């Protein structure tokens, strides 16, 4: 066996935000995949609703990490384009209200959530940003409220060919500081502990303005403060999609021996389950050097190669496979990375046949493996 080349790193983005996003996204792959696998099995209505809520929370975290990357790449410009897709506002607000009712009980506070308008209207917008804005409002409200109650009110009204959403959180805190609310919306300004401001309100304003709306604050009648936002939404011609069961390869003509090179045990186990579900045979190793040795030993039809691993990273291991003698050099490699753009291009330059992103989309993974199976069938 040739001596594996030393790993010089994958050359992936070393920006702190990119690193943080990678760390956030790493555990989300198995979380989302496991939710999909559970949803594919027998569940009662309550169990299904809870798993769907869990999946939506994990998907929200994944999308939030992506949004942070978008904003970093655009220089934190609030005008970073928002994602526009059908959104079920009633379901989104119900899910959040249920969670905050539990939080209010835990803090010994009252909680009220009300709505007005036609929330059965089909609208489209950026569900990730909408959810993040409500969460930032609620987090701020609960932080400043030590007694009394927190109240959420949402209104949706037609506006031209679309609609306008307005959300307000009325807290039980001391009200706005003497200088007004404006300083509380500044990035990284925390004010005093009583007013509880922070980065969340700055993100709220940036997201609201990025969607063509605004953030606002005023003192509430009878005490406390009201923070909120209003944004325009367009009318949608389709309804939001519900989480679907993961696809399954129907008796593939060729059952492949799939080598999974992944140093995260949870990710590796989930990939193994999915590969088996697709009708193939998984083999699991924990770093690029082990992957190279296993390929050289023969009997591997395909490698799912993680980018960042100890001992030998995925890019270096892929280059080493391509340098092996004879047919071994042609073993297909599907690169797996939490980074896109230039990182994916470097993976292809190293010899990967395809590159898919983390958290893994199950349908994309199946399509990539099936394409290799068809070529070999």
- How would you write the pLDDT of the chain (377 residues) with one tens digit per residue? 444 443 434 334 455 665 666 667 667 777 777 787 788 778 888 888 888 778 777 776 776 666 565 555 444 444 445 567 888 899 889 888 887 887 788 788 999 999 999 998 889 988 878 888 898 888 888 888 989 999 999 999 998 889 999 999 999 988 888 877 777 776 544 444 444 444 567 778 888 888 899 999 999 888 899 999 999 999 987 766 555 555 555 556 678 999 999 998 878 888 898 888 888 999 999 999 999 999 999 999 999 999 989 999 999 999 999 999 999 999 999 999 876 667 788 999 999 998 988 777 777 888 888 887 676 55
- What is the total count of domains within the chain? 2
Query: Which H or E element spans position 163?
Result: strand 162-170
Domain boundary among 216, 235, 254: 235
CB–CB of 210/82 below 8 Å?
A: yes
Q: Is 321 a domain residue?
A: yes
User: Residue 227: which residues within 8 A CB-CB, separation 6 or more?
Assistant: 137, 140, 141, 168, 169, 171, 181, 201, 204, 215, 216, 217
Q: Is 251 a domain residue?
A: yes
Does pTM surpass 0.75?
Answer: no
Q: Is 122 a domain residue?
A: yes
CATH number at 143 reads 3.30.565.10
Q: Is 54 a domain residue?
A: no
Give 327's DSSP letter: G
Q: Is 274 a domain residue?
A: yes
Peptide bond into 359 cis (omega under 30): yes
Together in a domain, 98 and 226? yes
Q: Is 12 a domain residue?
A: no
Together in a domain, 180 and 159? yes
Beta strands in 6-60 (DSSP E): none
Q: Is 356 helix (H, G, I), strand (E, B) or coil?
A: strand
CB–CB of 69/89 below 8 Å?
A: no
Beta strands in 183-263 (DSSP E): 214-219, 225-235, 257-261
Closest CA to 273 of 81, 40, 54: 40
Range of the domain at 89: 78-235
Domain boundary among 205, 235, 265: 235
How far lies 289's CA from each of 28, 257, 295, 360, in Å?
25, 18, 10, 23
Q: Is 273 a domain residue?
A: yes
Together in a domain, 284 and 354? yes
CATH number at 299 reads 3.40.50.2300
How far lies 138's CA from each of 40, 146, 183, 187, 201, in Å?
33, 14, 19, 18, 11
């Amino acid at each position: 066996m040739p001596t594996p080349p030393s790993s010089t790193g994958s050359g992936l983005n070393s920006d702190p935000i990119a690193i943080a996003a990678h760390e956030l996204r790493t555990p989300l792959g198995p979380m989302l995949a496991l939710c999909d696998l559970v949803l594919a099995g027998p569940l009662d209505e309550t169990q299904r609703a809870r798993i769907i809520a869990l999946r939506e929370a994990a998907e929200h975290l994944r999308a939030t990490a992506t949004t942070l990357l978008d904003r970093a790449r655009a220089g934190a410009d609030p005008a970073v384009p928002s994602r526009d897709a059908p959104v079920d506002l009633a379901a989104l607000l119900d899910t959040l209200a249920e969670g905050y009712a539990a939080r209010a009980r835990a803090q010994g506070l009252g909680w009220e959530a009300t709505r007005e308008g036609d929330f059965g209207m089909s609208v489209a917008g950026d569900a990730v940003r909408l959810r993040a804005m409500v969460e930032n409002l609620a987090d701020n409200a609960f932080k400043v409220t030590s007694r009394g109650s927190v109240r959420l009110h949402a209104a949706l009204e037609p506006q031209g060919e679309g609609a306008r959403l307005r959300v307000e959180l009325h807290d039980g805190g001391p009200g706005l500081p003497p200088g007004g609310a404006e300083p509380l919306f500044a990035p990284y300004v925390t004010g005093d502990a009583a007013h509880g401001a922070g980065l969340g309100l700055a993100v709220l304003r940036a997201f609201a303005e990025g969607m063509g709306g605004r953030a606002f604050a005023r003192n509430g009648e009878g005490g406390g403060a009201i923070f909120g936002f209003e944004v325009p939404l367009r009318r949608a011609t389709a309804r939001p999609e519900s989480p679907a069961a993961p696809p399954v390869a129907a008796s593939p003509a060729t059952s492949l021996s799939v080598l999974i090179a992944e140093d995260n045990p949870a990710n590796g186990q989930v990939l193994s389950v999915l590969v088996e579900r697709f009708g193939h045979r998984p083999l699991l190793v924990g770093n690029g050097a082990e992957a190279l040795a296993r390929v050289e030993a023969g009997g591997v039809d395909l490698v799912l190669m993680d980018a960042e691993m100890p001992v030998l990273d995925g890019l270096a291991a892929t280059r080493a496979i391509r340098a092996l003698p004879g047919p071994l050099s042609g073993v297909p490699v599907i690169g797996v990375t939490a980074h896109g753009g230039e990182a994916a291009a470097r993976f292809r330059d190293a010899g990967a046949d395809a590159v898919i992103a983390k958290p893994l989309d199950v349908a994309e993974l199946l399509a990539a493996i099936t394409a290799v199976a068809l070529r070999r069938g």
